[in-house]
Structure 1
């Protein structure tokens, strides 16, 4: 029997499919959707009939996506998220008289992005409601593709597929050391100067793709410690257990008298900080205006003072 036209698919069917995959079982998904299990099963069968392809392989205890189902799910999540956000836009506009824009940002860049966004709001855009999401770059880019956020300031080492990315600035790796460490008095350091000392670096974000290869190529010490949070990294450095290796952005708010930030040169290893968004028309005019504003302001913020440590204390270079 020939497949029915795809335009007969409904948003409700797509929502059912998305929840079913998330829950992994018809029973749990039906309870969450407040419908009967047979009704959910029939909706998925009708969806497969309309598409002319099997989306799931079913067994007694589990469901698995077929290759076609995996492709459909990615687009389903985008459509469902976009619909839910559109409803939120309408609610915000009708009830509050404001446009609604969702921004994703890596934690290390949050201070700069928040400052620029505040300037945007004060510059004739007071009737805007901003929603903030802070997460690692890979999470933000995935949420951007699925329509959960409108734009993201993220750090990348390779161009992400399916997104428009505007370079904002480069963020080099630096060392965080105790102030009584010999490297603190040097002003800057080469990778060879690390020698056989142990490093501590972040286990997620851009560091696995950036810090691990750099360390393997230039440093000769033991396997580094890997942590999730900057305070843990700083604690290990304070205790003399390791030298911290991290992007410079993370150190912009560091005010610890026991620690010093040392630029790593020869060679300089850095990540790209970009403003990313989906190609094509934006959801609303305000989101377009905010992207244009951030595109202009954030590269200027990226030229902020670089702290360098000398024997006399902290000095700055622009």
Structure 2
């Protein structure tokens, strides 16, 4: 059943006059009459009684009218909602993120984005970088916030920020009063490290940093979350090398000390699918870029 025919029917049912209905529809009367007969034949029931005194609805027509109005309203709503999604006014985004992203301006970006786009729903999932890439490839995520990765085909990325690694020590540690540390000073430390199964690139990067300073790190604990790293350090269970952003966590009984010399950077990237193009992804990316830079600059 064509929506066009339902629209013609509903207009004639309101006017009960072919000429006035045709005028409202910006068509001539003969096409309107043909359309009504076509609808009646399709339904298998007369919808109007026609006489020299005018036009009136049959029982079948009176039954159809509220349903026709409902279908036309739903169709109009579907068109408007689809247009809004296409223009990035409304919709649904599924955002993956690594834990450290929470201390790099992501909550501020989401608050700003939701204020500007109240009709957009954002669902967040904390996943490691590899899990996010898989989620993007399987269309289970619309955007991911990941550490440095090798991107599979079909994905695009934008660097949001990079920052140094710093030493994280228990407050009572003998080195905790130093203003800066040479990484080699941690040679005899037992380290709390991110699990190689959760974030192999981070795990490898810390190992490479230590090896470049003449020692293989002694790993005491491997954990899945950055907060677990900080918690174990605060309890005196070891030391760690962490992204500088984790200084914003506010964990008690830990100190963060810059490292001497040129060191690899900790990076945060936004990743999304190249196709299909999603205007909401690009709008969220702009909010992320602004908020992350503000946080990095101390704003």
Structure 2 residues not aligned, in runs of 5+: 1-77, 83-88
SS in 2 for 1:104: strand
* Farther-moved stretch of structure 1 (191-200 vs 218-227): 218-227
Deviation per residue, 1:149-185 (Å, 9 max, x gap): 11111111x4423221111111322211122323221
**RMSD after superposition:** 2.7
| 1:282 aligned residue | 277
| 1:136 aligned residue | 128
- After superposition, residues 91-130 of structure 1 pair within 5 angstroms as 93=81, 98-111=90-103, 112-123=105-116, 125-130=117-122
SS in 2 for 1:185: coil
**CA 133–266 in structure 1, closer or farther in 2 if over 3 Å, else same:** same
Structure 1 residues not aligned, in runs of 5+: 1-89, 306-318
Conserved? CA contact 2:230–2:251, under 8 Å: no
The whole-number CA distance in structure 2 between the counterparts of 1:185 and 1:177 is 10
1:229 deviation in Å? 3.3
1:120 deviation in Å? 1.4
SS in 2 for 1:282: coil
1:210 lines up with 2:202 in the alignment: no
The whole-number CA distance in structure 1 between the counterparts of 2:225 and 2:281 is 31
1:160 lines up with 2:151 in the alignment: yes
Conserved? CA contact 2:106–2:291, under 8 Å: no
The whole-number CA distance in structure 1 between the counterparts of 2:224 and 2:152 is 26
Instruction: Choose the corresponding residue for 1:145, options 122, 125, 137.
Output: 137
SS in 1 for 2:259: strand
Instruction: Choose the corresponding residue for 1:295, options 279, 289, 296.
Output: 289
Q: Which has the larger radius of gyration?
A: 2
Structure 1 stretches of at least 4 aligned residues deviating more than 4 Å after TM superposition: none
Conserved? CA contact 1:100–1:130, under 8 Å: yes
Q: Which has the higher contact order (CA 8 A, sep 6+)?
A: 2
1:195 deviation in Å? 2.8
| 2:262 aligned residue | 267
The whole-number CA distance in structure 2 between the counterparts of 1:182 and 1:141 is 41
The whole-number CA distance in structure 2 between the counterparts of 1:229 and 1:288 is 28
Conserved? CA contact 2:157–2:272, under 8 Å: yes
The whole-number CA distance in structure 2 between the counterparts of 1:223 and 1:103 is 35
Instruction: Choose the corresponding residue for 2:229, options 224, 230, 233.
Output: 233
- After superposition, residues 3-22 of structure 1 pair within 5 angstroms as none
Conserved? CA contact 2:189–2:218, under 8 Å: no
Conserved? CA contact 2:92–2:122, under 8 Å: yes
SS in 1 for 2:118: coil
Say how many residue pairs are matched.
210
SS in 1 for 2:147: strand
Conserved? CA contact 1:196–1:219, under 8 Å: no
TM-score, length basis structure 1: 0.59
Instruction: Choose the corresponding residue for 1:192, options 184, 189, 195.
Output: 184
